[in-house]
Amino acid sequence: MAIPTPKLLKINWCSSRSIASSDVYRVYDILYTSFCTMTECPKVDEVDDPVEVTESPDLPIWVRITENDSLVTKTPEDDFMLPSVSYWMENYKREEPKVYDKVTVGNKGESDTKKITKVLTKHFESVESVVRALNDCNIAPSESLVAQMLKRFDNNWKSAYGVFTWAESCLGSKFSPDMYDLLVDCLGKSKKFDLMRQVVKHMVQIGDDYVTVNTIAKVIRRLAKAGLHEAAIDEFRGIEQFGVKRDLLALNILVDALAKEKNVERANDVFVEFKDEIPPNSHTFNSLIHGWAKARDIGKIQATMEEMKKHGICPDVKG
C-alpha cells in the first residue's frame, strides 16, 4: 500500500476546501438573488471603475402608490414622500357646535308631561284640589297623557283619580275601557276598594262593553292580594251583574289568585263548588297543585292529580 506523500496530502486538502467554498458561494448566491430587487448582478469593468448598478423598475409592494393618490406629493424623480401636514390642515373640517331652537327641541306632548308631572307631585288634600290645580295649568289633556300619569302615579290614588276626572271633564267625552281598567287597578293597588267599585258601576252605565273579564280580573287580584279573599269570591259570584259571563276563564283567575296568596284551601273550595257548573281544565288543576306545593301538602297534591284523571286530564310537567 502506497503511503501518500506530504505534498499529495496538501493537494487533497486544498481540493476539498475549494469544493466546500464553492458550495458556500452557491448558497450565498441563491439567498442573495432571492431577496435582491436588482435585475442583474453588479458589473465591474476591467479598469476598476465604480460599480454600476441597474435598479429594478418595480418597487416593493409596501412602497407602491397609485397614480390617483392625491395625498402624496411626487417629485420629478418619483421619490416617495409622506403626506404633507398642510394638506391635512386644509382639508380638516372642524365640527361647529349645533345650535338648537328651544321651541323645536321637544314637542308639545313632552312639555305637557313635565308640567303635569310637576303639579301632581305636590301634596293634595282631596281629589277636587288636584282638579283645580290642573285647571290652572293651561294644559290640553289627551288619553295618552292621562295613561302616562296613571302608570306614573299608581301609588298616589288622589293624583291618579284627580287627573282622570280633570281630563274627562275637559274632553267632554268618556275614555276607552282600557283607560278605566288602568284607573280600577290603580285604586285597587291603593286599597280604595269602595271607590274602585264605584268606578266599575260607572263603567256599566257608560256601555255594555266597558266592563270585561279583564276588569273583573283586576278587581279580584287586588282584593286577594289585600287579604280580602271572601270579597274576591263574592265578586266572582256576582260577576254577571256587570255584564260579564261567569265562565272558566273567570274561575281560573279566582283560583289562581287565591292559590298565589297562600289560601289554596279556599281556592279548592271554589273549585269544588263550581266544578259541575264550570268544567275545569289543566290550568285550574295546575293552580291548585302549585298552591298545595307551596303549602308542602303532598297528600293534597296526589289527591288533586287523581281528580285530574277523573276529569280526563292527564297530569304533565308543564306549569
DSSP string over 209-253: TSS-HHHHHHHHHHHHHTT-HHHHHHHHHTGGGGT----HHHHHH
Q: What is the pLDDT of residue 119?
A: 86
**Which of 185, 211, 237 is at the close of a domain?**
211
Domain membership of residue 296 (yes or no) is yes
Question: Of 178, 211, 244, which residue is a domain's last?
Answer: 211
Expressed as residue numbers, the domain containing 189 is 107-211
Give me the number of domains the chain comprises.
2
Q: In the prediction, which pLDDT does 275 show?
A: 94
Q: Give the model's pLDDT for residue 139.
A: 86
User: Quick check: is 2 in a domain?
Assistant: no
Q: Is the dihedral of CA 215, 217, 223, 225 positive or negative?
A: negative
Task: Please tell me the predicted confidence (pLDDT) of residue 105.
Answer: 37
Q: Is residue 29 part of a domain?
A: no
251 and 301 part of one domain: yes
pLDDT of residue 314: 84
Distance separating alpha carbons of residues 270 and 274, to the nearest angstrom:
6
Cβ-Cβ contacts under 8 Å for 189 (sequence gap 6 or more): 154, 155, 157, 222
Please indicate, yes or no, whether residues 167 and 240 belong to a single structural domain of this protein: no
State the Cα–Cα distance between residues 209 and 215, nearest whole angstrom: 11
Beta bridge partners of 52: 43
Instruction: Assess if residue 58 is contained within a domain.
Output: no
For residues 222 and 318, membership in a common domain is answered with: yes
289 shares its domain with 187: no
- Which residue among 194, 211, 228 closes a domain? 211
Q: What is the pLDDT of residues 153-174, one digit of tens each?
A: 999 999 999 999 999 988 877 8
Residue 2 confidence (pLDDT) = 52
Residue 217 confidence (pLDDT): 97
Task: Give the containing element (helix H, strand E) for 260.
Answer: helix 248-260
Residues in the chain where the model's pLDDT stays below 70: 1-110, 316-319
The answer to the question of residue 180 being in a domain is: yes
- The answer to whether the pTM exceeds 0.75 is no
Instruction: Report pLDDT for 79.
Output: 54
Same domain assignment for residues 191 and 216: no
Per-residue pLDDT at 171: 86
Same domain, 258 and 301: yes
Q: Let me know if residue 190 belongs to a domain.
A: yes
Count how many Cα atoms sit within 13 Å of the Cα of residue 194 in the half-sphere of its side chain: 0
- Say if residue 272 is in the same domain as residue 282: yes
Helix, strand, coil: what percent of the chain each, to 5? 60, 0, 40
In a domain, 78, yes or no: no
Residues 310 and 218 in one domain: yes
